[in-house]
Structure 1
Amino acid sequence: MVQIAVVSSGDSLWSIANSYGVPLEILSNVNEISPKTLLVPGQTLVIPTTNRFINPFFYQTPVYYRIRPIEVNAYVRADDPNAVNIIYKYAPYLTNFNVSSYRVTFSGELTRIDDVEILNAIEDTDAVPMLVITNFTGEEFSPNITRELFTNETARERFVSNLVAVLAEKPYFAVNIDFEENYPEDRELYNEFLRQITPRIKEQGVLVSTTLAPKVGPSEPVAWFGGLDHDYAAHGQIVDFVNLMTYDIGGWFSGPPKAVSPLPTMRAVLDYATSVIPNDKIMLGLPLYGYDWQLPFDPTVDFAETIGPREAVNLAREVGAVIQYDYNVQAPFFTYYDTGGNEHIVWFEDARSMKAKLDLINEYSLRGASYFILGRSFPENWALLSEMFTIQKML
């Protein structure tokens, strides 16, 4: 059973370690904080219950400890200057790295990324790379690009030929097609596109997946997402698995301040998804970030700042805020005033909120988890993941 400690006023890492009978060094290592760090009321810590956490960066499973195996993937930007370090740090927790991203053009060309260094790093680990392909232009997702691919046979053939060439040249284990914000009327065109290209990709010995925008019904997208172009049932039949975007379904950078992934909305999306897609084909999308909104929020002029879970706790410490927890949406938050006297609210993730989300994988018997996006510190998540599941490896 995973244990989570919620910090109260006056608590220290030493007092919590003593209370739970855990060596201070192990508690410090698992949560990646110094024993001398001042804790914030409302902050959460993962309490290790097995010797799996003696070294949190090197995942080892004792033979006596039986937990359900799942697949886990996470998106990593190949242009992140810290990408190689990210690979080595998180490979023990992952089945796949989703290398983002190759961009498709109107003519079916693939705008390649410099992925040599990141692929070499992944090859040093027991994780495998997944090639992400998007219709992103650098500024937005383009429905015009995908319509051209769906309707122009020459462009489609060029796309497949270019993709096959990449797969022949580079050691990608799977392909993720992340076409977003397509025209709703192109839904069946997208289905037919997938029916035509998926067998040809699979001939290269790789798996095929798609990324799906969150919906709670066939014509009921969530929040700002389009998703009407995504036919859940068809994707579930055609591809090997899907990454379900259950993040930014509450609050997002240009939307009103809310929890990023409120649990009731996640459940509603899963209730629909599992009714038309086999459960063992669904990867649950999980956020590794939160947002800091200035209040009052005006979506016409304001954008929230993205903030990592550890950054949020550090900010709460700096401004003297007490972290609160909303048990309805299962997410932590706090408010503060900046040096200019402006009020802010921060919604983010902690051990409690991630435990509630990871529990959904077991509750719905899902294939696994899909994290967006690596690069921000959140050691509590990886400790929980290791405690609750065995990470399935392809090698």
Structure 2
Amino acid sequence: MQNEPLAFRMRPRTIDEVIGQETVIGPSTALYKMIKNGHIPSMLLYGEPGIGKTSIAYAIAGTSELPFIALNATTSGKKDVEEVVNEARLTGKVLLFLDEIHRFNKLQQDALLPHVESGSIVLIGATTENPFHDVNPAIRSRCGEIKQLKRLTEAHVVKLIESALNDKERGLGRQSINISPEQIERLAVGSIGDARKALTMLESVVFASDEAGGIVRIEDDIIEQMMKRIGVFGDKKGSHFYNLLSALQKSVRGSDVDAAMYYLAHLLENGDLTAVTRRLLVMAYEDVGLAAPHVGAHVLAACQAADRLGLPEARIPLANAVAEMCLSPKSNSAYRAVDAASAAIHAGKTGDIPPHLRDGHYAGAKELGHVGYRYPHDTPVGSFGGWVDQDYLPEKVRGTAFYEPVLAGDEKKLAGIYEKLKTFRKK
């Protein structure tokens, strides 16, 4: 057993040994009480890597008396599922843990779903992806419990590390290890709530440290080296990555520079510069928009500079762009207007393009009635430029207003022009 990774050895054996996730499977929860009373419901466990999905499944299996089978949907085939079904027929009921359940294919589902529905197979599925986006509805409908797990707190990770250091059977308790509370805290902070990474770093640090007089002495620089080697910032394309992008945009929209910088830094640690610059460009036009039209050009220039510089220097122009967007006036009026127009089209509010707006640059256009267009530039209106009172919308949609200006920043002036032109049309 000592040849297995520390993170594997330290998995909880029963639900009473689970550290963290008190709101999901703590002693006061309904799920805990059901399991203790012998009832295991089918469920989906959703959350980032390393926060306890697999551990909880094994802890439930250790608490129950059901035959337990673990599969991974990325490597299992129909034959594996058939073996689970056969086991259920022989024993009457089996507990199946299916990791990466969002990769479940149709053949596996067809073989397994009726037995999950009948209760002969209790299914615990684990996924890093949002189950409402990536797990088949047929699976979701048969899982009465969908539990979203959260990152462990630093206190939870400290407790986990201390448990591993003291456990003589499964952990490192048979070794004399000189590690300070501050160093344990550093490992906990560096793991960012990921139990697996915390224990992997701890094990790596111990093996990389010098031993003298039978005592392993942990040095700070070894901890820092191992944290850099293992990495602590999660997946690049999973749900957590998109949650970070979402949090960045919402922080900018809410004008919170500090929060926006935090999420930008977290995203850049993942290293996917393309995804970050793409989202920043969207934000410049979606959230700042007409209130500060120059910001779009500034953000584009910053993104182009970031692409040319590459990381780590790319963080500098991107930080400028994020700060400017946070502190700029905000307007989403333009994109709301085009969405409103699109909704009207889908609702059937369409009509023929007015004849005077149709293409008239060919012989025969007059015969088709494509005449009557008046060139606005020929009719100056004060300092505005040119304007004439003529219809542009199809007759069926005429009079519909899609654009509602926001009285913020530069858009105040645009809103005034918009309202003035409306009074001209009324005349």
Q: TM-score, normalised by structure 2?
A: 0.22
Larger helix fraction of residues: 2
- Tell me which protein shows more strand as a share of its residues: 1
Q: Radius of gyration: which is bigger?
A: 2
Q: Which has the higher contact order (CA 8 A, sep 6+)?
A: 1
Q: How high is the TM-score relative to the length of structure 1?
A: 0.23
